[in-house]
Structure 1
Amino acid sequence: MRKKSLVVNAFLNGLRSVLNILFPLITFPYVTRVLSVNGIGIYNFSNTYVGYFVLIAGLGISTYAVREGAKYRDDIKKISNFSSQIFSINIYSTIIAYLLLLLSLIVFKNLNNYISCILIFSLQILFTTLGTEWIYIIYEDYSYITIRSIIFKVISIFFLFIFVRKPTDYLVYAGISVFAGVGSNILNFIHARQICSIKFVNNINWRYHLKPILVIFATSVAITIYMSADTTMLGIMKSDYDVGIYSTSVKIYTIIATLLGAISTVTIPRLAMLYGKKRFKEYKKILSELINTLNVFVLPGTVGLIMLSKDIVLIIAGEKYLPAVNSLQLISLAMIFSNFSMIFNQCVLIPAKRENKSLRNTIVTALINIILNVVFIPYLSYNGTALSTTIAEFMVMFMNGWSGRDIIKDVVFSRRILKNIYTSVLGCLGIILICSLCSISYTSLVLRTVMSVILSVGIYMAILVLVKNEIIMSYMDKLKKRKLF
């Protein structure tokens, strides 16, 4: 199979991730005006409620499948056998998720008003399993799932404006949301069978697969808890206003972080494959390139977001959300830590089969985050929550890095990477200068923001070229040859 371009994959995965965020941002202003407040409430509650059962059905299978399946992808017989076993395990976990969901609807009578909407959203459970996206990730084939995802989302927007016309249409909106999110998974499943033979089987090596899957699942649950704990605790200890301010910061942060995170996400299957086949020299070379590339993009992304936080909040949310500026600046620092934590976890610990250490680190981080929130929220409110999250992300990055230190030490502390960090920091100083000058030179909010971004990119790239940053110079050479990775 032809080697996929990591750069193209990063762009496609980033585009798909951003679209998943932008779809509700585009549709929400319309539906909030059309649907009733009660309808929106039922929609949001049902979607959140079903999300827990989607997590149960997923069972950490995708992460495990990418790690284990990547080393079999050159052997059609082995990958077909492996994929069929993983798919079958996923079917069993899906059945369990549905049984638990139905049981909860029977036991909890106060869910009666939500049953119809919950059942519509429950289609996500089945479609996510059938989507078998892990097969595409194993083979680094992002083009197929990205293109179909875009098509389904565009169609869904048309459906929204045509069929959601009155306050009682929240069930229709729920159906359209499911169609937009996982509707293309039916096509993904059909196409996946052209990549390898995948079918339901009874001959499953439970002893080999189950333990690591459950450990990864426990890690996912722990991550979900500590990611949602900040907002939950803020709502309990403060008010809806504080939650609204903090949620605005998180929404803006998530868009940028998701786009930057796509760089490392697409590299996971290749690193898993190289580590699984014990091709450690190639593994460390790709890992070094990944860390260097992330440095080049994440550092300026973080600095730019901090410098333009006020303008971005004004453009996206308006003046009444200006208190979100400080919390956005604080949480922006978490972008550096979370991206490198993801590398150390997904690209080092998981391929090295150290998921137990990953689980331990996540649980410790969750506890630290909760304690910090208890300490900071009473005094700093949403700023305290942002600070807690940033500290927690730093802690999990450090612990994941320490857990894989024997693998990454000679990579992370190499002269090559330290020099790359130094040149990126110099470029970031240029961004700070440009944004400061633009803030006093332009009175128009939009013009100031646009010029700040354009000129910051220009000065950053110019500085990196001037100091001969390795990553930028290599990209320029590849562009000259019209060839990427």
Structure 2
Amino acid sequence: MRLIKNYLYNAGNQILLLLVPLITVPYVSRVLGPHSSGINAYTNSWVTFFYLIGQMGVMMYGNREIAYTRDNIENRSRTFFEIALLQVIMSSISLFTYIIIILLVSSPFKLYFLYQSLWIIAYGLDISWYFMGIEDFKKTVVRNSVVKIISVALIFIIVRGRHDLSKYILLLGFAQLAGSLTLWPYLKESVSKIGLSNLHPFSHFKGSLLLFIPTITTQIYMVINRIMLGQMSTQSLLGQFDYADKIIKLVLAIVTAASTVMLPYMANKFASGDVQGIKKSLYNSFDFVTAFSMPLMFGIMAIAGSFAPWFLGRHYVHTGYLMFLEAPMILFIAWSSVTGNQYLMPVKRAHEYTLSVTIGAVVNVLANYVLIRLLNLNGAAIASVISELAITGIQLWMIRKSIVVNKLLSSFWKYLLSGVVMFLVVFIINSHMTMNIFSLVVQMITGMLIYIGLLFVLKAPIIKQAYLVFKNNN
């Protein structure tokens, strides 16, 4: 029951993260325009590397280590303070390095780069990993909800034209910082005091570094296409790509919310030696993300062409084509979130996880270099899909000796068939309707009914899972 509540909390948080852009993106994309949106995407892509260097893989490492020690308050408290101190030290070094580089390098976007430094400070103080480790997702969800609602209101009040790009960047940075600070007061009731002389923060350096490598390499293939597009194309085209990528990742977040919840759960099972429980949870989780990602993937593909210019504005026609091309990432990332975050990471096979995402990053850079030159924006979208497919394939191969891969994929055809039929029906409806809020709702409901109906007919495992959950909670 606790696991279900945590998923619902985290899924609710991801839905909030999805709803906020649904409210703000149509406004911001029109007010700032593709060029200013591209500048924001370009400068934020660079600062991302620095705040990740500052975090040193703490988000995943801290989450896992707290899960290992959560039943002993003294060990848990010491672990928290040591990891948090390491995070602050590394973030301070990263911030200092970033500021020096920005001041020394000549760039027309120097001021925007400086404003983006707020993200380094915000992530340096982010301790959400602690509450995830003790499986207390309610606090992080409440925090995010309040901060997001306030920031949405401020966007409409403060950002009024293309000259307000600086205000927009500062607003997002301060909102992130406020979100990080609001979690600290909750520690009073959760950790005990540990003397500074008893803390050894750098004892966690090696462990966090091992998880930092896959984190930074993952980020490389997530932002390298933006950086390469910024260098090889125009800021306006980069803005088109950035919005397509953001919409895909926001939809994906609903599915991958399960991985955030399952990581500490699986880590705690591993610490207690429950190998069979880990495998059972893995099979169920894989089936769950397959069932949920398939309609999201095909639904995006069916409506993308008319949705993008309606939602973002008439200047974003090509964004729809990019969304169509990037949609398969929803399935591939959903799968790798299970094999990587829910299995390889909790059972201390981080080196294999690191290898998979490193290969994916290399594939992404090479594919971007070739395909952007050949296909421009479309090439960047295709390169992203290829790299995610590579990571998923490698991870499935890595776990083949401990997990029955055929069992993971045994019901895949049922979800695929249901998704294809849903896609064809919704695509036909979409081509005969003018895109507006009414037609969008009609298409979503129609697609959902067709997909769920076919799952019942084909007796997909997710139906049995849903029934058991409902039965156990009544």
TM-score range, shorter chain: 0.7 to 0.9
CA distance in 2 between partners of 1:14 and 1:305 (Å): 17
Q: 2:8 maps to what in 1?
A: 8
Q: Which SS does the other structure have where 1:131 is aligned?
A: coil
- Could you report, residue by residue, the CA deviation over 1:7-38 in whole angstroms, capped at 9, with x for unpaired residues? 413423423542575575266257638xxx88
CA distance in 2 between partners of 1:191 and 1:282 (Å): 31
Report the CA distance between 1:441 and its aligned residue.
5.2
Report the CA distance between 1:188 and its aligned residue.
0.5
Aligned match for 1:452, one of 436, 443, 447: 443
Q: 1:250 maps to what in 2?
A: 245
Q: 2:426 maps to what in 1?
A: 435
Q: Check whether the contact 1:369–1:392 (CA below 8 A) recurs between aligned residues.
A: yes
Q: 2:98 maps to what in 1?
A: 101
CA distance in 2 between partners of 1:331 and 1:460 (Å): 21
Matches within 5 A, 1:281-430: 281-407=276-402, 409-410=403-404, 412-414=405-407, 417-430=408-421
TM-score (norm 1): 0.86
CA distance in 2 between partners of 1:478 and 1:456 (Å): 24
Aligned match for 1:212, one of 207, 212, 220: 207
Q: 2:456 maps to what in 1?
A: 465
Report the CA distance between 1:172 and its aligned residue.
5.0
Aligned letter for 1:458? L
Report the CA distance between 1:138 and its aligned residue.
0.8
CA distance in 1 between partners of 2:416 and 2:107 (Å): 55
Report the CA distance between 1:132 and its aligned residue.
0.7
Q: 1:79 maps to what in 2?
A: 76
Q: 1:187 to 1:32 in 2, by over 3 A?
A: same
Matches within 5 A, 1:13-52: 13-18=13-18, 21=21, 25=25, 28-29=28-29, 32=32, 47-48=44-45, 50-52=47-49
| 2:178 matches 1:183 | yes
- Kindly tell me the number of residue pairs found equivalent between the two proteins: 473
Q: Check whether the contact 1:276–1:351 (CA below 8 A) recurs between aligned residues.
A: no
Matches within 5 A, 1:144-155: 144-155=139-150
Report the CA distance between 1:126 and its aligned residue.
3.5
Q: 1:273 to 1:17 in 2, by over 3 A?
A: farther
Q: Which SS does the other structure have where 1:405 is aligned?
A: coil
CA distance in 2 between partners of 1:379 and 1:112 (Å): 28
Moved more, 315-324 or 197-206: 197-206
Aligned letter for 1:91? V
Q: Check whether the contact 1:14–1:263 (CA below 8 A) recurs between aligned residues.
A: no
Aligned match for 1:91, one of 88, 112, 121: 88
- Could you report, residue by residue, the CA deviation over 1:361-409 in whole angstroms, capped at 9, with x for unpaired residues? 22222222222223323332222222222111111111122223333x2
Aligned letter for 1:346? N
Q: Check whether the contact 1:4–1:140 (CA below 8 A) recurs between aligned residues.
A: no
CA distance in 2 between partners of 1:335 and 1:366 (Å): 17
Q: Check whether the contact 1:84–1:200 (CA below 8 A) recurs between aligned residues.
A: no
Task: Structure 2 unaligned segments of length 5 or more: list them.
Answer: none
Aligned letter for 2:332? F
CA distance in 2 between partners of 1:158 and 1:468 (Å): 45
Report the CA distance between 1:436 and its aligned residue.
4.2
Q: Check whether the contact 1:87–1:198 (CA below 8 A) recurs between aligned residues.
A: no
Q: Check whether the contact 1:53–1:97 (CA below 8 A) recurs between aligned residues.
A: yes
Aligned letter for 2:228? M
Report the CA distance between 1:235 and its aligned residue.
4.0
Q: Which SS does the other structure have where 1:322 is aligned?
A: helix
Q: 1:201 to 1:44 in 2, by over 3 A?
A: farther
CA distance in 1 between partners of 2:41 and 2:438 (Å): 36
Q: Check whether the contact 1:153–1:181 (CA below 8 A) recurs between aligned residues.
A: no
Q: 1:13 to 1:283 in 2, by over 3 A?
A: farther
Aligned letter for 1:28? V
| 2:62 matches 1:65 | yes
Report the CA distance between 1:314 and its aligned residue.
3.0
Alpha-carbon RMSD? 3.2
- Could you report, residue by residue, the CA deviation over 1:144-171 in whole angstroms, capped at 9, with x for unpaired residues? 2212222122223334444566887666
Q: Which SS does the other structure have where 1:71 is aligned?
A: helix
Aligned letter for 1:77? E
Moved more, 268-277 or 12-21: 12-21
CA distance in 2 between partners of 1:136 and 1:79 (Å): 11
Report the CA distance between 1:119 and its aligned residue.
6.0
Q: 1:89 to 1:426 in 2, by over 3 A?
A: same
Report the CA distance between 1:107 and its aligned residue.
3.9
Moved more, 15-24 or 91-100: 15-24
CA distance in 2 between partners of 1:183 and 1:80 (Å): 23
Aligned letter for 1:82? T
| Identity, % of aligned positions | 23
Q: Which SS does the other structure have where 1:253 is aligned?
A: helix
Aligned letter for 1:392? S
CA distance in 2 between partners of 1:383 and 1:113 (Å): 29
Q: Check whether the contact 2:305–2:317 (CA below 8 A) recurs between aligned residues.
A: yes
Q: 1:153 to 1:399 in 2, by over 3 A?
A: same
